[in-house]
């Protein structure tokens, strides 16, 4: 077990089924696919693996069922060097899963079934107090109950750690959770919802959204796909970093790769500009890698 994690991810674990096809089906349409494969997923699991891949000590708190899907996900965390001592086996629910359908351009649509992820709560936070008390940076997402996020954030803040939330999928952040957040990370769609702006498509638009969000949160990061990433903090600091031009193979998981690397670099003490550049480059490399070649 990792004794002193720099990064702890509290969040979702999904068994993903990736389906490759020429296009995504419209309502009522059947499309003939070319291949499919299983993969480990869930924003929490993906972000933990990405953080650990940088060499930073990383722990995962989550829940899976005692089924084949759950065993597959635990084996992946083990293989990737993520401490999973506090991933609970839940017998009341099935393991979370998703089906993602990819088109020829590398874009995708997905359906998730949360399953055991929705059972996460204060009991899991209590069980993991040992690692939460030593965590430099806690990473959260919106694929588990808000109350679970609040409990984990409170535990880390009491111990002097910081909290980063990837507010995805898009949903309003509760009044209990907002004051506990040190760093908010959102994509263009989530920024539009939380910042109340109409469209975030350009780097300039992302920076404007980051400024608005930094009036509520100590620091905000807004990713705008190929346009780049913007940062603003409550002290008036700003950064705008252009996207890295690559041949797009698949956009699946790019946001999670960005979050994992960003969290690892911040927890290690790197300055924000360096952390953002490293995360931006890592996400670009993933986008340029075909799904079948990813590990």
Return d(Cα 125, Cα 148) in angstroms, integer. Answer: 8
Asked, for residue 284, whether it belongs to a domain, the answer is yes
Asked, for residue 204, whether it belongs to a domain, the answer is no
Asked, for residue 229, whether it belongs to a domain, the answer is no
Asked, for residue 71, whether it belongs to a domain, the answer is yes
Range(s) of the domain holding residue 157:
7-13+42-95+118-181+244-293
Asked, for residue 193, whether it belongs to a domain, the answer is no
Asked, for residue 29, whether it belongs to a domain, the answer is no
Long-range interactions of 71-78: CB distance < 8 A, separation 24+: 72/15, 72/38, 72/40, 73/13, 73/14, 73/15, 73/40, 73/42, 73/45, 76/40, 76/45, 76/49, 77/40, 77/45, 77/48, 77/49
Residue 1 scores a pLDDT above 50: no
Which pLDDT tens digit goes with each residue over 254-276? 999 999 999 999 999 999 999 99
Running DSSP on this structure, what letter comes out for residue 118?
G
Residue 60 scores a pLDDT above 50: yes
Residue 295 scores a pLDDT above 60: no
Residue 216 Cα distances to 106, 159, 200, 213, 223, angstroms: 35, 23, 18, 5, 18
Asked, for residue 208, whether it belongs to a domain, the answer is no
- Buried/exposed 273-295: b ≥16 CB within 10 Å, e otherwise: eebbbbbbebbbebbbbebeeee
CATH of the domain at 81: 3.40.1190.20
Return d(Cα 67, Cα 137) in angstroms, integer. Answer: 31
What's the whole-model pTM score? 0.92
Which pLDDT tens digit goes with each residue over 14-27? 999 999 999 999 99
Domain count, the chain: 1
């Amino acid at each position: 077990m990792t004794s002193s994690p720099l990064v702890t991810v509290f969040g979702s674990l999904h068994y993903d089924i990736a389906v490759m096809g020429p296009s995504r089906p419209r309502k009522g349409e059947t499309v003939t696919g070319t291949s499919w494969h299983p993969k480990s997923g869930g924003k929490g699991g993906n972000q933990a693996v990405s953080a650990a891949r940088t060499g930073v000590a990383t722990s995962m708190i989550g829940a899976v069922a005692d089924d084949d899907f759950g065993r597959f996900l635990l084996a992946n965390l083990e293989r990737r060097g993520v401490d999973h001592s506090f991933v609970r086996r839940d017998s009341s629910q099935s393991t979370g899963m998703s089906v993602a359908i990819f088109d020829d351009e590398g874009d995708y649509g997905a359906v998730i079934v949360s399953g055991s992820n929705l059972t996460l709560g204060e009991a899991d936070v209590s069980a993991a107090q040992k690692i939460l008390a030593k965590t430099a940076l806690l990473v959260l997402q919106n694929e588990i109950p808000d109350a679970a996020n609040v409990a984990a954030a409170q535990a880390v803040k009491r111990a002097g750690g910081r909290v980063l939330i990837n507010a995805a999928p898009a949903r309003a952040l509760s009044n209990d959770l907002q004051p506990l957040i040190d760093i908010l990370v959102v994509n263009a769609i989530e920024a539009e919802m939380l910042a109340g702006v109409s469209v975030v498509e350009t780097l300039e638009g992302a920076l404007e959204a980051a400024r608005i969000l930094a009036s509520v949160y100590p620091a905000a990061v807004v990713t705008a796909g190929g346009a780049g990433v913007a940062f603003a903090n409550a002290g008036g600091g700003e950064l705008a970093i252009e996207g890295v031009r690559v041949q797009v193979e698949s956009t699946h998981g790019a946001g999670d790769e960005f979050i994992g690397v960003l969290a690892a670099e911040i927890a290690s003490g790197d300055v924000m500009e360096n952390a953002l550049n490293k995360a931006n480059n890592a996400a670009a490399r993933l986008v340029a890698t075909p799904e079948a070649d990813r590990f």
